[in-house]
Structure 1
Amino acid sequence: MNISHQKIDDINAKITVDLAPEDYNPAVDKAIKDQAKKAKLPGFRPGMVPVGHIRRTFGKSILFDEINRVVNEKISAYITEQKLEVLGQPLPVDEDDAKYNWDFKDTFSFNYEIGLAPEFEIPFAADSEFTEYDIKADAATLEERIKNLRRSYGKMTNPEVSEEGDVLYAELKQDKEEGIEKTTSVRTDIIEDAKIKKSLAGLKKDDAVKIDVKKAFNVADLARILGVTEEEAENLDVTNFQLTVKNINRLEEADLNQEFFDKLFAANEVTTEEQFNAKVKEEVENLFKQNSAQKLRNDMYTFGMDKVDVKFPEEFLKRWLKATNPNLSAEEIEEGFADFLNNLKWTIIENRIVTANNLEVKYDEVVDLAKERIYAQIKMYNINEEPTEEQLSQFAMQLLSDRDQANRLFEEVKALKVYDHLKTTVKINTEAIDYDKFQELEK
């Protein structure tokens, strides 16, 4: 067997595999004998089908399969030995003039096209400079968080007079004959028009007002409220409706007492309003640390993508995408191709950082990340529930039994390792910033 490759240019190449009968016949003979032992054919006892009969009946099919297997194995080994950084997988080149007898005596020559990753220097160095933000919780953010917590554990009341933020159980009737008529809940806090929002405060049961629903709600909310499709909501011929109040619902905020504190934290861990405020501030600023880390990762991504200006074997990659996703149309491939190239480019940058610095993703690290994700999900729904280590391990194993989920977590661990490594490589300046100012940076 002879296998070689020839570069067409820096990002495209061709692999040629030459096979003589002695290269493939041993594998074919073995496959035929194995088939004879397993075959169940009319007129023969199980496992007693003559090898010659299998060769005559199924020989060419087995020959084709074995040659395909041998060639694929050899190409894979060759790519590894030659340290070729291949994109996608080799694609066979259709050769109309290649005619074979498939009689176990042919000499075969197969050609495959491959796409090669472009050469470039890793863009991150000691003089690469980034900013890591120490985000401070401002009074307005803390007040909003405390309000949301108190509302989450508050109680529902039915006051006589409506206020801004109430939920009105009301009849909406379109201002035309045989128009839409719907009795439903209307959240006044989602109303977009300030004048309409103000008109719904100070109402009592059976009071009626007219509102322009297209001004009051976005299309998605309007469709939900009226029980119609978004297209129907968008194309309403009459947008004036009469709103008649049937009932007023108000979520009263929970009192700042021990019962409320113990619902949020361990029993008696927080006993005063001052301690509660401090805990909320700590929680909010811990969340801000995640926002800061995400911005630093995004800034590193943008820096790396801007610094690496290379070409990819685009035509090859489009053919490979079509070959591996036959249901995709050429238009669909073209539509998503820019995003595909961006993801591919960053993956190559990450992989080269991993290889150059001997970074390693260990199985235990993937399991730990799975446990971390599961723990966060459990706490999201029940802040006081504390799963055991045994429960977390069991849930993690279930999650990792899904190949897609396992691959996603593996890639996430790899990305975190690259990020942690880059933080030790580049220059990072720390800057304190208020949350509202930080939000402006992200726009």
Structure 2
Amino acid sequence: MEYASASYLRLSKNWATFGGHFYAVFQSQKDNNSKIIKKKMNVSIKNTDAVNAIATVAIEKADYANEVEKALRTYRQRANVPGFRKGMVPMGMIKKMYGKGVKAEEINRVVGRELYRYIAENKLNVLGEPMPNEELQKEYDFDTTDDFEFVFDLALSPVVDVVVDKSIRVPYYTIQPTEEMIDRQIESMRSSYGHSVEADEVSANDVVKGRLCELEDGQPKEGGICVEEAMLLPAYMKDEEEKNKFVGAARNSVVVFNPSKAYNNNEYELSSLLKVDKSAIGEHTGDFSFEISSISRHEKAELNEEFFKQAFGEETDIKNEADLRVKVTEGVREQFTAESDYKFLIDLRRELEAQVGELQFPDALLKRWLKLSHTEWSDEELEKQYPAMIKDLTFHVIKEDLVKKNDIVVTPQEVRNFAIIVAKNQFAQYGMSAVPQDALERYANTMMEKEDARRNFFDRVTENKLAAALKEKLDIDAKTVSPDEFNKLMTEQPASAE
């Protein structure tokens, strides 16, 4: 006999990550003082106190019968049962084989849909996940029952009223890039847009190609390794003596060296160079000859109009090195803005947490949910982690109040645009400043295929817009600091924003 209970249901949900923990994204106002908050159709929610509520979802046969029949017809079309052609299995047999499971799945889907729709439409601030009520939930016999009532516990967010005005003074640190930082960025760009030339003599950073042969008593070893188109970079050699055998060597000359010594017996390097399996490396520890056929040297791009257009596009107005330094400085400052905003929110966080004081949370229900979400945690580990999680959750509640009060809305296009900026900045770190827009968009789309990345981008856009709005309302103590000074500030004040 099969029974249905709330603990059986697998409700679909929409989650956000804050501070490494999970909180459901159903934010809005609610009336915590009313006994029954709202009632619509087959869902009702009743407060038991300011931060706990009980949700009841009543479902009748008419709510799921059509979907069950539709699902069973699909099963019938796909079923492969001996003695029947595909799609011709009697419906009675299909119901006997799959009926209970399909019924349970459809009930699960309808209950989840109605509960989460109700939460979203009525703008309830629910923390965590609706949990089956262990005292009020009845058990039902699927064979004899058509109408069901499921009861869930809800953890409600505490209500706060955060005040942000000129009475609050918060520092805002603008990070000034150093000249050395600009130099490194320009050199990186020059390397990215450089080109290869053939050299006559080897330098440490060159790519050297040639014929590599294993030796025995100074002569090619019979049956030994011989790689016709070998390639190596002296700069990657760990042994200076072996490296110096190549530095200064001319094209068409022969260098005798010991690969095992040169690469400090690194199996990966030796396997790649000698074209043998790692397990065979120990059989080839002697000298090799390398007849140099070509020496390829990377030359950085010159600071000229061609380079400026390659790096910043055909329409760039950069004409000289001075213009270039201004442009690069602007780009680096823009990348630092996110760091400045992050520090700003950290400093503001302390002020606002002090303002709201210690909030009341539905501790028992949150701990119950967290224990189910982190099955690997012992009771001791849960108690150890919980205070930090509540601290993060407190700031989350504060931020949501400020987001609402400042009418901050984040659109999917804004999230996508931010992903493109992230992609652009990542390429810029490698000196690639003129990546085509379509390439940036493809890379951004790839990043956004991951739910964690989408959520992170959403949170970043939200925080950027929130920081911009709050800076206009607070008494800002503007400070300009170097990157080192900023890093020291972050080290001295190791608080974390969500």
Q: TM-score, normalised by structure 2?
A: 0.56
Is the partner of 1:17 in helix, strand or coil? strand
Unaligned regions of 5+ residues in structure 1, if any? 323-328
Mapped contact 2:335–2:425 kept (Cα < 8 A): no
Mapped contact 2:408–2:465 kept (Cα < 8 A): yes
2:156 matched to 1:111?
Answer: no
2:60 to 24, 29, 40: 24
1:69-92, Cα deviation, whole Å (9 max, x unpaired): 564455446645876422232132
| Partner Cα separation in structure 2 for residue 39 and residue 264 of structure 1 | 58
Shift of 1:285: 0.9
2:205 matched to 1:165?
Answer: yes
Mapped contact 2:448–2:454 kept (Cα < 8 A): yes
2:127 to 42, 65, 87: 87
Out of 312-321 and 119-128, give the one that drifted further. Answer: 119-128
Is the partner of 1:88 in helix, strand or coil? strand
The alpha-carbon distance between structure 1 residues 98 and 149, as it changes in their structure 2 partners (threshold 3 A), is: closer
Larger helix proportion of the pair:
1
**Counterpart amino acid of residue 292 in structure 1:** F
2:321 matched to 1:280?
Answer: no
Is the partner of 2:205 in helix, strand or coil? coil
Shift of 1:368: 4.7
1:82-139, Cα deviation, whole Å (9 max, x unpaired): 764222321324679944345777885533233444566759764252332241441x
The alpha-carbon distance between structure 1 residues 360 and 263, as it changes in their structure 2 partners (threshold 3 A), is: closer
Mapped contact 1:114–1:316 kept (Cα < 8 A): no
Mapped contact 1:17–1:71 kept (Cα < 8 A): no
Aligned equivalent of 1:135: 176
1:317 to 370, 380, 393: 370
Is the partner of 1:297 in helix, strand or coil? helix
1:33-79, Cα deviation, whole Å (9 max, x unpaired): 989999989xxxx9xx99x9999999877875665556445544664
| Partner Cα separation in structure 1 for residue 137 and residue 435 of structure 2 | 70
Unaligned regions of 5+ residues in structure 2, if any? 1-41, 78-86, 216-222, 492-498
2:403 matched to 1:359?
Answer: no
1:293-319, Cα deviation, whole Å (9 max, x unpaired): 122133145446667577762331241
**Counterpart amino acid of residue 372 in structure 2:** R
The alpha-carbon distance between structure 1 residues 121 and 362, as it changes in their structure 2 partners (threshold 3 A), is: same
Shift of 1:225: 2.4
| Partner Cα separation in structure 1 for residue 140 and residue 317 of structure 2 | 82
Mapped contact 1:124–1:304 kept (Cα < 8 A): no
The alpha-carbon distance between structure 1 residues 194 and 434, as it changes in their structure 2 partners (threshold 3 A), is: farther
**Mapping of 1:7-406 within 5 angstroms?**
7=48, 13=52, 15=54, 17=56, 19=58, 24-27=60-63, 68=108, 71-72=111-112, 75-76=115-116, 79=119, 84-93=124-133, 98-102=138-142, 110-117=150-157, 126=166, 127-138=168-179, 140-151=180-191, 152-160=193-201, 162-168=202-208, 184-188=231-235, 201-202=247-248, 205-208=253-256, 222=266, 224-227=268-271, 246-247=291-292, 248-256=295-303, 259-264=306-311, 275-303=319-347, 308=353, 313-320=366-373, 341=389, 348-363=397-412, 365-366=414-415, 368-369=417-418, 404=451
| Partner Cα separation in structure 2 for residue 30 and residue 154 of structure 1 | 67
The alpha-carbon distance between structure 1 residues 157 and 317, as it changes in their structure 2 partners (threshold 3 A), is: same
**Counterpart amino acid of residue 232 in structure 2:** S
| Partner Cα separation in structure 2 for residue 262 and residue 14 of structure 1 | 62
The alpha-carbon distance between structure 1 residues 281 and 242, as it changes in their structure 2 partners (threshold 3 A), is: farther
Is the partner of 2:140 in helix, strand or coil? coil
Shift of 1:165: 3.4
| Partner Cα separation in structure 2 for residue 396 and residue 109 of structure 1 | 47
Mapped contact 2:199–2:297 kept (Cα < 8 A): yes
2:421 matched to 1:421?
Answer: no
| Partner Cα separation in structure 1 for residue 368 and residue 479 of structure 2 | 45
1:365-396, Cα deviation, whole Å (9 max, x unpaired): 44654666677799999866766xxx799979
The alpha-carbon distance between structure 1 residues 368 and 159, as it changes in their structure 2 partners (threshold 3 A), is: same
**Counterpart amino acid of residue 132 in structure 1:** Y
Mapped contact 1:122–1:349 kept (Cα < 8 A): yes
| Partner Cα separation in structure 2 for residue 199 and residue 264 of structure 1 | 37
| Partner Cα separation in structure 2 for residue 200 and residue 394 of structure 1 | 43
1:303-348, Cα deviation, whole Å (9 max, x unpaired): 46667577762331241466xxxxxx669xx89x979959867655
| Partner Cα separation in structure 1 for residue 270 and residue 163 of structure 2 | 54
| Partner Cα separation in structure 2 for residue 122 and residue 197 of structure 1 | 65
**Counterpart amino acid of residue 406 in structure 2:** N
1:350-376, Cα deviation, whole Å (9 max, x unpaired): 433212322122455446546666777
| Partner Cα separation in structure 2 for residue 346 and residue 173 of structure 1 | 66
Shift of 1:286: 2.0
| Partner Cα separation in structure 1 for residue 302 and residue 65 of structure 2 | 82
| Partner Cα separation in structure 1 for residue 313 and residue 163 of structure 2 | 48
Out of 258-267 and 279-288, give the one that drifted further. Answer: 258-267
Q: TM-score, normalised by structure 1?
A: 0.61
